[in-house]
Amino acid sequence: MSRQDAIDSAAHHFDSGTFLEELTRLVAVPTESHDPGQEPALRRYLAEEVAPRLDRMGFAVDIAGNPVSARHPFLVARRTEAEGLPTLLTYGHADVQPGHPDRWRTGLDPWRLTVEGERWYGRGVADNKGQHLVNLVALEHVIGQRGGRLGYNVVLLLETGEEFGSPGLAEFCAQQRDHLLAADLLIGSDGPRVATDRPTVFLGSRGAVNFTLRLDLREGSHHSGNWGGLLRNPGTVLANAIACLVDDRGSIRVEGLRPAGIPDEVRRALADIPAGTDGPTPDPGWGEPGLTPNERLFAWNTIEVLAMTTGQPDNPTNAIPGAARAHCQLRFVVGLESCDVERAVRKHLDEHGFGMVEVTADYGMEATRLDPDNPWVPWTLGSLERTTGTTPALLPNLAGSLPNSAFSCGLGLPTVWVPHSYPGCSQHAPDEHLPAPLVRESLQVMAGLFWDLADLAGHGTWPPAAPSTDGNAP
């Protein structure tokens, strides 16, 4: 059997309708990690929908408890062909965002996969059920086409709390680094491609920290006519506090939260990425001046105001409110640690006369980025190009955030991500969907990639050699 046979076999799995049937079953399980009442559904997804398939593929499956919570278990499955062989770790998450069925378009249901033309609708089709199913199916066909032997071991980690902030993932990875999760390379799939028709590789993600600004000045509200001009208005103060953090064009004013610069290799990679065409049109003049749109999105830091309240917005009265609060978020690139954010914001507010504003940060995901010159990067890009006949896009990091630090730092692995979605998929929103042609191509891409890993292991060249200095492979 050949590489093309494996690719064709994975494509036939799609063409026969089998993949659609399998994904329909997965979507029907309401694995909402935010809702404690859905914990049985999360466990059923692991034990009844995923584990039997892995057992047939020769994996030893373990459903492990979360080290920091009674909720959000992990599925770890190991397929060991021989001790001492290189080991691939692949990752996905079983949980999804809340379904919000009342917000979906008429005729759509988050827990029922609906086909409309080339689009498949349902909660989790893009994030992340469809993506980890693609990888399992592709791997299954490569194992079959190679007579049951890959020449490398495989570990699958499936978590159930990614949409809840991945509680316990970092701790679990640290505990199992030399045991259940011992590996040499991570290839995961989550997030979007840069465009529907452009296979994409990214090497990490921006970090994210949510922080709240709060100003409590007094109990109750007071008549704006009788007290206006005498009582400090918390909404006005808080608006000015935010304005001292980020200016009127979205550029960060806190020196400690600004990147030192953009590395040359990152600029080179982003120069090949087309401007986004899915979704709203970027606002001209918004964001850090002097940067391209892609540099602002993938290689810079941003502060966003997610929500802000003072008084009673839905039923305003002629009164000066006593309190105000704003929920903000910092997205940041490599060079800043999440634990530094609250301290930097606090210091900046104090220096600008806003010592009365309280700051509390909810530490989230760290920023990560594999060196674009790592040998796994051109090797992966070459595999995708051989399969699709097109030049794939390379993103140094995703603009969004993923728990990649658990793998790159906690497990010490090179991390390569091959996403199977696109920017307009409405993940986290009503009407989440995937284009069917993208799913089919993703099955082919991953079948080719898993086959090439087997060839690499068989030739004893895992990891791949670094490209020669003249740009040609040795």
Same domain, 255 and 199: no
- The pLDDT, as a whole number, for residue 274 is 79
CATH number at residue 304: 3.30.70.360
Instruction: Please report whether residue 446 resides in a domain.
Output: yes
Is a pLDDT exceeding 90 seen at residue 45?
Answer: yes
DSSP per-residue codes, 111-180 = TB-EEETTEEESTTTTTTHHHHHHHHHHHHHHHHHTTT--SSEEEEEEES-GGGT-TTHHHHHHHHTTTT
* Total residue length of the chain: 474
- The pLDDT, as a whole number, for residue 473 is 43
Same domain, 331 and 382: no
Say if residue 294 is preceded by a cis peptide, omega within 30 of 0.
Answer: no
The closest of 397, 400, 126 to 269, measured between CA atoms, is 397
**Total of domains in the chain:** 2
Same domain, 47 and 23: yes
Same domain, 253 and 353: yes
Same domain, 186 and 234: no
Range of the domain at 33: 3-205+368-458
The pLDDT tens digits of the residues spanning 145-164 come to 999 999 999 999 999 999 99
Is a pLDDT exceeding 60 seen at residue 63?
Answer: yes
- The pLDDT, as a whole number, for residue 363 is 80
- The pLDDT, as a whole number, for residue 278 is 65
- 3-state per-residue secondary structure call for 281-294: CCCCCCCCCCCCHH
Q: Could you tell me how far CA 192 lies from the centroid of its own chain? A: 8
The pLDDT tens digits of the residues spanning 319-363 come to 999 999 999 999 999 999 999 999 999 999 999 999 999 999 998
The pLDDT tens digits of the residues spanning 374-398 come to 999 999 999 999 999 999 999 999 9
Same domain, 33 and 74: yes
